[in-house]
Amino acid sequence: MIYSPLQKYQQSSVQTASPAQLVLMLYEGAIRFVKHAIDGIDNRDIEKANTNFIKAQRIINELTASLDYQYPISTDLARIYEYMTHQLIQANTKKSKQPAVEVLSYLMELKEAWSQAAKPQPQTQTVSKETGHG
């Protein structure tokens, strides 16, 4: 398989990213796909909406799979991710953007929280211990 320079860069970025950076990349991807899905609904492009809802759901599933349940917040995050997945399924099956807009707001809030938690803090535990993702 031949990779473009962009694909090589993206692959390198993922391979060299810290766990916190990887989680941020997942949130960014989910946000992008939900926005594309909403755009698909707005433009009555059912295939675009469906494809992007599925991509966003896969990312949320990956976020769920990365949770480290030795930290109590992980259980709460799992519930939030489960709810977001349910809402994306509702948005996709009904081609209704309201549930997707709700999920988008949650993803943006969680990304911002992760962004803050990932910043180096003097004399604190590692990010994975504070946030529940391992």
Whether pLDDT at 128 is above 90: no
Whether pLDDT at 131 is above 70: no
Q: Which pLDDT band, with edges at 50, 70 and 90, does 119 fall under?
A: confident
* Tokens linked to 123: 């004399």
Name the CATH superfamily housing domain 19-118.
Flagellar protein FliS (1.20.120.340)
User: What separation in angstroms does the CA of 112 have from each of 17, 121, 125, 129?
Assistant: 18, 16, 19, 17
User: What separation in angstroms does the CA of 49 have from each of 1, 44, 61, 121?
Assistant: 29, 8, 18, 39
Q: What is the pLDDT of residue 18?
A: 86
- Among 8-12, 20-24, 44-48, top mean pLDDT goes to 44-48
Is the model more confident about 123 or about 54?
54
Q: What angle do CA 127, 128, 134 make, to 5 degrees?
A: 160
* Tokens linked to 30: 């989910």
Q: What is the pLDDT of residues 47-101, one digit of tens each?
A: 999 999 999 999 999 999 999 999 999 999 999 999 999 999 999 999 999 999 9
Is the model more confident about 13 or about 91?
91
Is the model more confident about 54 or about 117?
54
Is the model more confident about 18 or about 3?
18
Q: Which residues pair with 133 in a beta bridge?
A: 67
* Tokens linked to 27: 């949130």
